[in-house]
Amino acid sequence: MSEYPQGWPPVLVSQFLVQHATANPDRLAVIAPTGSYTYAELVSAAKSYQSVLLAAGLRHGDAVVVRMDPGFEALAVLIACSETGLVYVPSTADAPMRRVAAVCDQTNARILITSPGSETLPALPLTGFASGRELKVVGEPPAPSGPDRDVLESDVAYVIFTSGSTGVPKGVVMSHRAALVAFRAIAHACDARERVASVAPLGFDFNLFDAAATLGRGRTLVYLPRSRYLHPRLLLEQLIVNRVEQLHCVPSLWSLLLRHCADRLGELTTLRRTVTGGEELPVSLVRRLRAALPDLDVLNAYGPTESICCAFYRVPNPVPAGWTAVPIGRHHPGCELMLVDGDGMPIDRPGVVGEVYLRSAALFNGYWRAPELTARALVPDPVAPWSEQRVLRIGDLAVTGPDGLTFVGRQDHQVQIYGNRVELEEVERCLGGAPGVIEAGVVHVRKGDEHLLMAGVVSDGELDSAALRSHCGAQLAKYMVPARFVPLAELPLTPAGKLDRSRLRELLSREPAAVG
């Protein structure tokens, strides 16, 4: 392991997250459903976990799949992996075992770490159970996979698997160097208050965003119980009881709170700021939010998993009267956003729609063992193709205005549901494998401030919505399961014979008797 000189700036994810531990060891780092922990306790647990992982025979470059709720234990695993050169691969606690097994298989994982009492797990050489400061590993230690190596900033820090259009989860590979470029910008822009609440699932990059924003400033990260997320009034109680000063969440969460708890939002007397991301922030939502909390500072964060975050925009108060969309804003100092036209040429005129490209040291290495996908996403810099520098085609469409970029739409069939990336083709492929289904089309529909997936299904008999939901739930993450299934005689097609998603969206949006 590399020993960096005293006083060097952080170059590893672990170093960034615990950089304030020496000066403030007794400050609370984490408040979680399992307890409250200081920075000193976090460092101590991470070192203990690290020793256990090394004793189990894991070595530099080995993948460590983690399936649990966000909290102290997951943070300790992340820090331990970072210090040891292991690759941290987070998964949500409710991810179907079939999906977790697919991730383990893709990464050749030797170990899956979870919480005690978890259900039947994929068959791996090792299984770890993390609880508080203790990590227990059971199984047969594998033979070391290679020589000991130093941990460098160019090494892979983590892999986050998102929805893939082929039906197989797509792994976004991030190095320590790329992560820290984003982490520094996040910590600076979010300027965390004393207590920051996080509701992001472990397998979502917003979870890492929250850790960087909070621990990177030496503040306290409050992990709210995941079960509260779906019960707005219980979530509100947690925000009040924990005296949260800053809430990080997807806009959809605020929509839920406004719908069910508008009469009580005034009780959030300590809340000063919210940072939203993961999906488009509607102007109407900001206006409703400011009506309930007039002095709330609203920061809109933008960026794909492949860079964590690349732009921030502080929403003015009051919201300008003529606004129809909240801007993305301008890129942070560690990157550059540009718009490119259909011919691959940069757009330098305001008001012209173009595809968003990102140039940054905070870019991912590529997709895990998917060179063709990587080549389509990382392309030559259109401004300086001779430089051999690769830039990211984000796939979003935007226009330039006085406040920077404003999001217009997507180039492909990828959507965001509760901040999670969903490839519609993956959901369709899953539905197509259900008994009795002839074909299916899935679209993203917006109902007010809510984002829903709806499926049109052609079947050989009566549509069984419960059976379809169960079938999807066994293979897909919960956020990928359509909210409604609508029986159709046939799917609408374009003249070229392809699924007409615009027409399907119209059909499903007006369907009054859709099967839920």
Q: Tell me how far apart the alpha carbons of residues 275 and 18 are, in angstroms, rounded to a whole number.
A: 22
Q: What is the pLDDT of residues 109-160, one digit of tens each?
A: 999 999 988 776 778 889 999 999 999 999 887 666 666 788 999 999 999 9
Strands ordered across the beta sheet of 484-487: 437-447, 450-459, 484-487
Q: What is the pLDDT of residues 211-270, one digit of tens each?
A: 999 999 999 999 998 765 668 899 999 999 999 999 999 887 898 899 889 999 999 999
Residue 384 phi, psi dihedral angles, 5° rounding: -135, 70
Q: What is the pLDDT of residues 2-55, one digit of tens each?
A: 566 677 788 999 999 999 999 999 999 999 998 999 999 999 999 999 999 999
Beta strands in 253-389 (DSSP E): 273-276, 297-302, 311-314, 330-331, 335-340, 354-360, 366-367, 378-380
Does the pLDDT of residue 184 top 90, yes or no?
yes
- Widest pairwise Cα distance in the chain: 70
Which pLDDT belongs to residue 166?
55
Q: What is the pLDDT of residues 56-84, one digit of tens each?
A: 999 999 999 999 999 999 999 999 999 99
Q: Is 344 helix (H, G, I), strand (E, B) or coil?
A: coil
Q: What is the pLDDT of residues 155-170, one digit of tens each?
A: 999 999 987 555 567 8
Given its phi and psi angles, is residue 377 left (phi above 0), alpha (psi -120 to 50 degrees) or beta? alpha
Enumerate domains of the chain plus CATH numbers.
39-151 (3.40.50.980), 417-509 (3.30.300.30)
Percentage of residues of the chain with pLDDT beyond 70: 92
Beta strands in 402-488 (DSSP E): 404-410, 414-417, 420-423, 437-447, 450-459, 484-487
Closest by CA to 458, choosing from 414, 423, 493, 415, is 493
Place of tokens 């004393």: 194
CB-based contacts of 213: which residues, under 8 Å, 6+ apart? 186, 187, 190, 192, 196, 248, 275
Model-level pTM? 0.84
Q: Kind and range of the H or E element at 30?
A: strand 28-32
437: confidence class by pLDDT, cuts 50, 70, 90: confident
Closest by CA to 235, choosing from 252, 204, 257, is 257
Place of tokens 């939502």: 285
Which pLDDT belongs to residue 272?
97
Q: Would you say how long the chain is, in residues?
A: 516
Instruction: Give the Å distances, CA to CA, from 366 to 84, 85, 392.
Output: 22, 18, 10
Does the pLDDT of residue 514 top 70, yes or no?
no
Q: Tell me how far apart the alpha carbons of residues 151 and 62 are, in angstroms, rounded to a whole number.
A: 13
Q: What is the pLDDT of residues 307-349, one digit of tens each?
A: 999 999 999 999 998 888 899 999 998 899 999 998 888 998 8
Closest by CA to 487, choosing from 452, 428, 439, is 439
Residue 152 phi, psi dihedral angles, 5° rounding: -115, 160
Which pLDDT belongs to residue 1?
44
- Mean pLDDT of all residues belonging to the chain: 89
First to last CA, the chain: 54
Please, are residues 441 and 499 in contact by the beta-carbon 8 Å criterion? yes
Closest by CA to 283, choosing from 309, 318, 257, is 318
The first and second tokens of residue 375, run together, are: 């080549």
